[in-house]
């Protein structure tokens, strides 16, 4: 939906027309079906509201009374700002990070695992005191 405030600054009557079919003609033959157009207006501001049913692209707007001197470009954007809902696949957005986080966790786990076991002394046997101060001999390689 587009709302235009239209007022004549020079006192002459004007009429806004958007050449929606891009035929380059600023007459009202295709108004309002293909070429949205306002009523004629003068020094009192009017609000002209119309719905854009046009493909994205650049169009020309005219004053139908002065089409050779009062004209300009009118751009239709693919998505209207602030009015459109863009569907977002949240799972697709998050999935790569979940996979990456999983790989990082697995890598850290692997590093911790090897660090732990590589730093462990490869003790074949050891002596350790028990409560009665009797030393026990234990073979770690053969529990
Ligand atoms: Cu005009």
Domain that holds residue 58: 1-78
User: DSSP letter string over 48-103?
Assistant: EEE---S-SEEEEEEESSSTTTSEEEEEEPSS-TTTPPPP--HHHHHHHHHHHHHH
Whether 84 maps to a domain, the answer reads no
Please indicate, yes or no, whether residues 2 and 72 belong to a single structural domain of this protein: yes
Residue 52 Cα to ligand 1 midpoint, Å, equals: 22
Residue 51 to residue 21: CA distance in whole angstroms: 14
Which residues have beta carbons under 5 A from ligand 1 (an ion)?
A: 14, 63, 65-66, 70
111-125, pLDDT tens digit by residue?
Answer: 888 777 665 555 555
4 and 18 Cβ atoms separated by less than 8 Å: no
| Model pLDDT, residue 141 | 63
Boundary (domain end) residue, out of 78, 104, 122: 78
Q: What is the pTM of this model?
A: 0.55
The dihedral of CA 67, 68, 71, 73: what is its sign? positive
Mean pLDDT of the chain: 82
Whether 85 maps to a domain, the answer reads no
């Amino acid at each position: 939906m587009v709302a235009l405030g239209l007022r004549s600054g020079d006192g002459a009557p004007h009429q806004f027309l958007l050449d929606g079919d891009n035929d380059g003609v600023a007459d009202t033959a295709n108004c309002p079906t293909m070429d949205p157009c306002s009523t004629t207006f003068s020094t009192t501001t009017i609000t002209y509201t119309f719905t854009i049913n046009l493909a994205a692209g650049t169009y020309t707007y005219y004053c139908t009374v002065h089409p050779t001197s009062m004209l300009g470009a009118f751009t239709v954007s693919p998505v209207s700002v602030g009015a459109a809902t863009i569907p977002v696949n949240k799972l697709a957005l998050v999935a790569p990070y979940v996979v990456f986080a999983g790989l990082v966790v697995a890598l850290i786990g692997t590093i911790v695992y090897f660090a732990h076991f590589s730093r462990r002394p490869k003790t074949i046997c050891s002596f350790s005191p028990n409560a009665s101060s009797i030393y026990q001999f234990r073979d770690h390689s053969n529990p």
